[in-house]
């Protein structure tokens, strides 16, 4: 009995509960709504702020009726950026549109800003085909983040998570905008590539009849077609050459299966919301002091910097200040070496395109 109380105390000091304000930009969309729902289930999210150019107040009202619990800031202070006291265990959900400085209010004091705003693919479109519309949406939202989230005294440290495609280019766009405003912190900007890893685990588990949630597959590179590089040789399973080729193709182009099945009405939304919430929740756990939180993500990375590649996805250890350690790729098979060689030129073009757009 005594031991268990001591153990409990030790645990509670090691992983402090922390109040968190999470803002979702594009919250009324196909991804935004289920993502906000999943984030509402995290008891460490004290303020869920949902913003969209349409329907955000309705989404917020709907979410606000869900009776999930939220923890109070253990220090007794109001959550960061809040000017009013929240009653214990309450979770504030606020909805904001563009009117009445809604974007500013939505962003003020955010600890995490997630962006799923922008148009999704239709059949026969690549993610790069979305650039002409989504680049300006993401640039404008990044400008607002720089002004209203990162420069305000309450929240100079917000983590920014980019879901809007093409991620290979939208992350460099956000980085360039934040640099222009003097608030870029490479440890706090993430392209969300979790869905590629979730798909990889699922496809392998289907083939090998294993539990997908425990099937670890590393996926590196970027988030589109050939830039998605699964490292199947590092899995605990063994595969035939044909299996490796088929699985690799399915992981690289898995998004197309959903786009095709949705028949012109959009791309992955539910699995993406699951992936986005997984990543945001990992970041919140890491911020509370949980040790060894490792997630795949597309970040400013030294791994291929000598080949002119500024951003690259790989496994990353997360801590209270975001990126703590970027893992190397480990040992690659000759086939994986060839996949990386094919990914690099496309990734370089995608990154350049994003940077040029802001310049
Ligand atoms: P959607 O069209 O259902 O929702 C997009 C939402 O963004 C809409 O509610 C729209 O009103 C809003 N929006 C547009 N401009 C905005 C602005 N300036 N400010 C705030 N909100 C704005 O699209 P869906 O399916 O939710 O996809 C969103 C994005 O996520 C797409 O670019 C899609 O390609 C991308 N995506 C990324 C994945 C990834 O693995 N990173 C996976 C699947 C999709």
Q: Quote the ligand 1 centre to 341 CA distance (angstroms).
A: 30
H/E element holding 115?
A: strand 112-115
- Cβ neighbors of 20 (< 8 A, separation 6 or more) are 42, 44, 45, 46, 47, 79, 111, 112, 284, 287
Predicted TM-score (pTM) of this structure? 0.92
Q: How far is CA 289 from CA 16, 134, 342, in A?
A: 6, 35, 38
Pocket of ligand 1 (CB under 6 A): 25-26, 28-32, 51-54, 116-121, 130, 134, 137, 141, 163-165, 167, 192, 195, 223, 266-269, 272
Looking at residues 254-272, what average pLDDT do you find? 96
> Does the annotation place 281 within a ligand binding site?
no
Average pLDDT over residues 147-153: 75
CA 352 to CA 166: how far, in whole Å?
13
At 151, is the pLDDT very low, low, confident or very high (cuts 50, 70, 90)?
A: confident
- 164 belongs to an annotated ligand binding site: yes
What number does the ligand 1 atom closest to the CA of 162 have? Answer: 41
Which one, of 52, 44, 61, lies nearest residue 23 by Cα? Answer: 52
Q: Domains, the chain, ranges and CATH?
A: 17-191 (3.40.50.720), 194-358 (3.90.110.10)
Output the pLDDT for position 102.
96
Q: What is the pLDDT of residue 99?
A: 95
Does the structure's ipTM exceed the value 0.95? yes
Catalytic residue among 223, 237, 249, 327: 223
Tell me the CA–centroid distance for residue 170 and ligand 1, in Å. Answer: 12
Tens-place pLDDT, residues 336-351: 999 999 999 999 999 9
Give CA separation, 72 vs 12, 16, 76, 88, 316, in Å.
Answer: 14, 11, 7, 5, 29
Output the CA–CA distances (angstroms, integers) from residue 191 to 70, 163, 202, 343, in the order listed: 27, 6, 21, 17
> Among this protein's residues, is 223 annotated catalytic?
yes
Select the more confidently predicted residue: 152 or 355. Answer: 355
Q: For a ligand 1 pocket test, name from 116, 141, 261, 265 the mutation site with the most ligand atoms within 8 angstroms of its C-beta.
A: 116
Which one of 31, 106, 258, 273 would you pick to mutate in the ligand 1 pocket, going by the greatest count of ligand atoms within 8 A of its CB? 31
What confidence tens digit (pLDDT) does each residue in 209-234 have? 999 999 999 999 999 999 999 999 99
Nearest residue by C-alpha to atom 38 in ligand 1: 163
Confirm or deny that 199 is annotated as ligand binding. Answer: yes
Q: DSSP letter string over 180-235? A: HTT---GGGEEE--HHHHHHHHHHHHHHHT--GGG----EEE-SSGGGEEE-GGGS
């Amino acid at each position: 009995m005594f031991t268990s109380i001591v153990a409990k105390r030790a645990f509670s000091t090691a992983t402090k509960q922390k109040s968190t304000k999470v803002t979702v930009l594009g919250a009324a969309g196909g991804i935004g709504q289920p993502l906000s729902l999943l984030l509402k289930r995290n008891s460490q999210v004290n303020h869920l702020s949902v913003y969209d150019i349409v329907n955000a107040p309705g989404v917020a009202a709907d979410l606000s009726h869900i009776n999930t619990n939220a923890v109070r800031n253990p220090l007794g202070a109001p959550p960061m950026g809040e000017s009013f006291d929240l009653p214990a265990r309450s979770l504030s959900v606020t909805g904001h549109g563009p009117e009445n400085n809604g974007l500013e209010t939505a962003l003020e004091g955010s600890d995490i800003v997630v962006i799923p705003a922008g148009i999704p693919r239709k059949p026969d479109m690549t993610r790069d085909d979305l650039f002409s519309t989504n680049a300006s949406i993401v640039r404008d939202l990044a400008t607002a983040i720089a002004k209203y989230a990162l420069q305000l005294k309450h929240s100079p440290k917000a983590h920014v998570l980019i879901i809007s495609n093409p991620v290979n280019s939208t992350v460099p766009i956000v980085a360039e905008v934040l640099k222009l405003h003097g608030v870029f912190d490479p440890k706090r900007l993430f392209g969300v590539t979790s869905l590629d890893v979730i798909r990889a685990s699922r496809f392998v588990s289907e083939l090998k009849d294993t539990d997908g949630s425990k099937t670890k597959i590393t996926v590196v590179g970027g988030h589109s077609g050939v830039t998605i590089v699964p490292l199947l040789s590092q899995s605990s399973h063994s595969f035939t050459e044909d299996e490796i080729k088929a699985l690799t193709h399915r992981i690289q182009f898995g998004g197309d299966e959903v786009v095709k099945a949705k028949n012109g009405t959009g791309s992955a939304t539910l699995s993406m919301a699951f992936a986005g919430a997984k990543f945001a929740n990992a970041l919140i756990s890491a911020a509370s002091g949980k040790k060894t939180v490792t997630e795949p993500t597309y970040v400013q990375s030294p791994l291929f910097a000598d080949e002119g590649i500024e951003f690259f996805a790989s496994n990353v250890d997360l801590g209270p200040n975001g990126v703590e350690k970027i893992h190397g790729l480990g040992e690659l098979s000759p086939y994986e070496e060839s996949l990386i060689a094919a990914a690099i030129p496309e990734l370089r073009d995608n990154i350049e395109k994003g940077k040029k757009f802001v310049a």
